[in-house]
Chains A and B, each alone.
Chain A
Amino acid sequence: MTDHQATPRPDALAWAAGSDAPEKNVLDLGFMALADSAPLIVAATQGFAQPYGLTLNLRRQASWAGLRDKLLSGQLDAAQMLYGQIYGIHLGLGSPATAMAILMGLNQNGQSINLSSALRGAGVTTGEALRQRTHQSGARLTFAHTFPTGTHAMWLYYWLASQGIHPLRDVHSVVVPPAQMVAHLRAGRIDGFCAGDPWGAHAVDENLGFTIATSQSIWPDHPEKVLGVTREFVEECPNSARALTMALLEASRFIDESVENRRSTAQLLSAAEFVNAPVSTLEPRFLGHYQDGLGHAWLDAHPLRFFADGAVNMPYLSDGIWFLTQFRRWGFLRDDPQYHELASQVHQLELYREAASALGIAVPQPMRRSILEDGKVWDGSDPVAYAHSFALHALAERQSLAL
């Protein structure tokens, strides 16, 4: 028995040998209790990293702000992060600016906007009814997302605006860690939230709320979590970064390979030390089964996914730029930034290309074309025009981000 038999392709191991050996071979990985942490948890526990000379220590974090702080202080080497969060840190929106890097995409889809059962009881079960409710006099509704510049804030704002509700003027927004959303809903402290699964599914299963929009209904196959590190880490440990990307690519491929693999991934994740949620809540979403708490159940055409032959994992520049256009739209950025240059600094395309190619995974073009729920086309070609094209916006304002 020889060592090289352990890996799928002998040439994949070339990185782990000799001069391409990881500069750092034990990595602390931050993750949140979410379904989309699956690639990290599967890679770390199922032997995907050893062939690359890495030991991965999983470190669960209680909040996205805490995760950011530990990554910036060096207590974490790499982490599951929100697409927009990376840019927020890179641009210094709400914390001192630190150069950041995106190594790969971890998943698409699988988030949702959920409203309380009290609103359902009051007949607010459509976007139109919600718009009317928010424009009535009386107390403003409070919605929670998970991080000021994160994906959930952007999905929530985008969806509310598409329903004619101004997210910064017509409602209150608060930050709540994803795993605490259901408790906040139960206590009546919030009227709704946007977060990743399984927390939307959990609110539905507990009959505390209902899903008014899935994130994939806003943008089918939208970007979501990424593998994030500081720029300093990529510069000091490029081989560790490449090896980690390869291990996570293989884990992602494994998860999406079959229904059985998705099912056992859900079982693994439900453990107390990982997501700590019932298998009965996690598993349906891993299999694409959705129900909204309003009596509708469906097999989603754009479910939570991790690989799709690498289409999920490519760190598309156009995906990154989209978040920048939304920061501009909502006044987090007072001026239009150098959209393309910024994304090219943050996305580690060359490193990703090396990692994916070594595993025989296709590397798509760095710009992709999407059509969002409101019919708008996003292909990254004219970010300035796109950022200024929305009826509801806060272009003239500067938001203060309380973290």
Chain B
Amino acid sequence: MLRILLINDTAKKVGRLKTALNEAGFEVIDESGLTVDLPARVAAVRPDVILIDSESPGRDMMEQVCLLSRDQPHPIVMFTDEHDPGVMRQAIQSGVSAYIVEGIHAQRLQPILDVAMARFESDQALRAQLNARDQQLAERKRIELAKGLLMKMRQCNEEDAYTLMRRQAMSKQQKLIQVAEQIISMHEMLGN
């Protein structure tokens, strides 16, 4: 059963989503959006999906969503009455997987949640690819920096420097990047 953290970001309509979700058979934990510390609640409750019901999502709510997507990415669905495309764009940029304007029907909830979760997964996969690419580049730069330092220290050519670093790493059961970092730290410590 899906565990849903429901944030009511509006004082007056409390309960409109909760009833529909309960009817559809979800486990719902609800919170008032006016007082919630979203990242802390997500860490404590560990929901599968976060639903935000908001008449018009405010700046504070968007900030909380941003923090959450950065540190603990989750599928987030926003139900709102806000038609303004600017607000919608801002919500998507903050990390909202689905933005639903008006009309909450119990029978529509499951497909909406399914789409939001699928969308979230594909975003995460893309993000993982991009992160891996950044990390590959960052590691290459550090390894090259260390190689350059070693070439100067040992008065050797590029290939010899790589071989020395790799032998050192392998005999200590480490990765090349670890040895590169050690060379860089040592160089910094010696004040060159």
Contacts and interface: CB of A to CB of B under 8 A. Distances in A.
Contact of A45 (B140, B159, B167, B169): B169
Contact of A55 (B135, B143, B158, B172): B135
Interface stretch (A228-236, A258-266, A292-300): A258-266
Interface string A36-54: 0000001001110011011
Contacts of A267: 170-173
Contacts of A402: none
A46 B171 contact: no
Contacts of B83: none
Interface in A246-300: 254, 257, 260-261, 263-265, 267-268, 270-271
B186 interface: no
B145 interface: yes
B109 to A, nearest CB: 31
A163 B132 CA distance: 53
Given A50-B140, A264-B166, A26 B173 contact: no
A43 to B, nearest CB: 11
Contacts of A1: 141, 144-145, 148
A28 to B, nearest CB: 12
Nearest to A1: B144
Interface-central residue, A26, A261, A271, by most chain B CB under 10 Å: A26
A261 B163 CA distance: 8
B106 interface: no
A260 B167 contact: yes
B30 interface: no
A341 interface: no
B133 interface: yes
Contacts of A45: 169-170, 174-176
Interface string B122-152: 0000001100110111011101110110000
B143 A26 contact: no
Interface string B25-43: 0000000000000000000
Nearest to B139: A50
A109 to B, nearest CB: 21
Interface string B153-188: 000001100010011011111111100000000000
A113 to B, nearest CB: 30
B133 A268 contact: no
A55 B171 CA distance: 22
Contacts of B167: 260-261, 264
A5 interface: yes
B176 A264 contact: no
Nearest to B176: A47
Interface string A1-23: 10101101000000000000000
B158 A5 contact: yes
A217 interface: no
A3 B136 contact: no
B10 to A, nearest CB: 42
Given A25-B129, A26-B128, A46-B166, A3 B171 contact: no
Contacts of B143: 6, 47, 50
B144 A264 contact: no
B169 A46 contact: yes
A6 B158 CA distance: 9
Contacts of B171: 263-264, 267-268
Given A1-B145, A26-B128, A53-B133, A46 B140 contact: no
B140 A6 contact: yes
Contacts of A260: 167
Contacts of A263: 171
A53 B135 CA distance: 10
B170 A42 contact: yes
Interface of A: 1, 3, 5-6, 8, 24-26, 42, 45-47, 50-51, 53-55, 254, 257, 260-261, 263-265, 267-268, 270-271
Given A25-B129, A50-B140, A261-B163, 4 more contacts: A1-B144, A1-B145, A47-B177, A53-B133
